[in-house]
A and B are shown apart, each in its own frame.
Chain A
């Protein structure tokens, strides 16, 4: 499972105002807004809202799944904003009924729908999507190179590779490994992350530590998110020292701390040395 903490990390500053600025809706209103089609902007907002506030009611799930197939809300450039929001929301709600409809979304002509679907499938943790996700890596590195003039690659490689790593898809290792050589750093990071999850080889975790020393803030932020997600304990001091917002470092260290506590819980209430060290680092970032 990808943690909520990591989501905060990736959305960066929006995590800062988690409870501020959201228009007040009730659950009933949100669901009604999502079910109507007169005002698509209400629909779009409701889809986001239901995910944000983790509304797991069956009727909400069904309305979101229906929205994944909505044809009406299409932009001039062929995007499906409502489908994107619905796909993202379904990833947060943990209902397995969404798995097959999200798998179907991986064929959507809108890149961002495919990206949202891949991310959500990673979160839902259902391995039935693995073969379809793997098929998006068809053509390997050669098919994955940047296209001049396009704002994105042919497939959402980052999201697909991260999902395969999160799902423990060891059968995909040979397909994923070539992406270690991808020219885009963020794709490399996704690959380090997945390869670490699938092989537990420290080489890949260490590559992410090296990424924390990179020149670009955006890339350091991404590496922080990845290290928090894989809970790579050796990275603790490097996380504390990298030049990035303390909020992001704290979320990454929280990922390490929770992993440490869950994996080394003893009968006694004593806190392990590793956990104590992590909290010392966290205290210094408050």
Chain B
């Protein structure tokens, strides 16, 4: 792939003049897997075009670790839609360098789509990419945040927290954390009033050993 080709793909995204041509242009740029296209793909996340955003997230996830720092640095503080897609991309790439950002987003972001994506991501990080001595404390921090977000006022954030806790339960290196998650699930079943969230807890309990 020459630079020229990359520039052409980037310009096609920037100059797209309809929703459908934007989606097509973003797909082409995403499929090219160009490091040079990362900034453009991140910008697309804030365009308020869900089709294009899905394609851009896919592209960023395919690029993987190399997209993590640009995503962390270019998080859109003013557009919660864009921020939610970026958090989603970080959650799917699962690079633990995103831990701090995900913890803050899950606990404090005002947008439920951001908190939801962060909560799910916190359970799914590639813990093995951390230095061995840091894994336990990182998992403990995720666990504490997910216990907090499982009491979020929005059902979907609680739902995402249940899913995040399930993933975390399969990865914890400290057996005590596993039993804490199981205890927490039982507590949730007792006090959770949302049927979908309760059902997700029951699914987790059925799937965990």
Contacts and interface: CB of A to CB of B under 8 A. Distances in A.
B195 A258 contact: yes
Contacts of B116: 286
Nearest to A247: B113
Interface in A76-92: none
Interface string B82-115: 0000001001000000000000000000111100
Contact of A246 (B23, B113, B154, B155): B113
B111 A279 contact: no
A18 B50 contact: no
Given A250-B156, A286-B116, A243 B200 contact: no
Nearest to A13: B81
A61 B161 CA distance: 37
A28 interface: no
A17 B200 contact: no
B112 A271 contact: no
B20 to A, nearest CB: 7
Contacts of B110: 17, 20
A201 interface: no
A269 B202 contact: yes
Given A271-B206, A286-B117, A217 B19 contact: yes
Nearest to B121: A286
Contacts of A134: none
Contacts of A244: 50
Contacts of A215: 20
A286 B196 CA distance: 14
B199 A286 contact: no
Contact of B50 (A217, A258, A261, A276): A217
Contact of B154 (A18, A270, A283): A18
Given A20-B110, A247-B156, A286-B117, A279 B203 contact: yes
A145 B81 CA distance: 37
B44 interface: no
A282 to B, nearest CB: 7
Nearest to B160: A286
B127 interface: no
B139 interface: no
A249 to B, nearest CB: 9
Contacts of A251: 156
Nearest to A271: B203
A215 B51 CA distance: 11
A137 interface: no
B182 interface: no
- Contact residues of B: prevailing secondary structure: helix
Contact of A18 (B51, B80, B112, B205): B112
A40 B19 CA distance: 42
A215 to B, nearest CB: 7
B142 interface: no
B163 A283 contact: yes
Given A16-B113, A17-B110, A257-B196, A282 B203 contact: no
A151 B88 CA distance: 39
B150 interface: no
Interface in B46-88: 49-51, 54, 80-81, 88
Nearest to B195: A258
Nearest to B166: A283
Interface in B166-209: 195-196, 199-200, 202-203, 205-206
A275 interface: yes
A19 interface: yes
B177 to A, nearest CB: 21
B51 A261 contact: no
Contacts of B119: 286
Contact of A17 (B51, B111, B163): B111
B50 A245 contact: yes
Contacts of A282: 159, 196, 200
Interface in A101-130: none
A243 B51 contact: yes
Interface of A: 15-20, 215, 217, 243-247, 250-251, 254, 257-258, 261-262, 269-271, 275-276, 279, 282-283, 286
Interface of B: 19-20, 23, 49-51, 54, 80-81, 88, 91, 110-113, 116-117, 119-120, 153-156, 159-160, 163, 195-196, 199-200, 202-203, 205-206
Given A261-B199, A286-B88, 19 more contacts: A17-B111, A18-B112, A19-B153, A217-B49, A245-B50, A246-B50, A247-B156, A250-B159, A251-B156, A257-B199, A261-B195, A262-B195, A270-B206, A271-B202, A275-B203, A279-B200, A286-B116, A286-B156, A286-B159
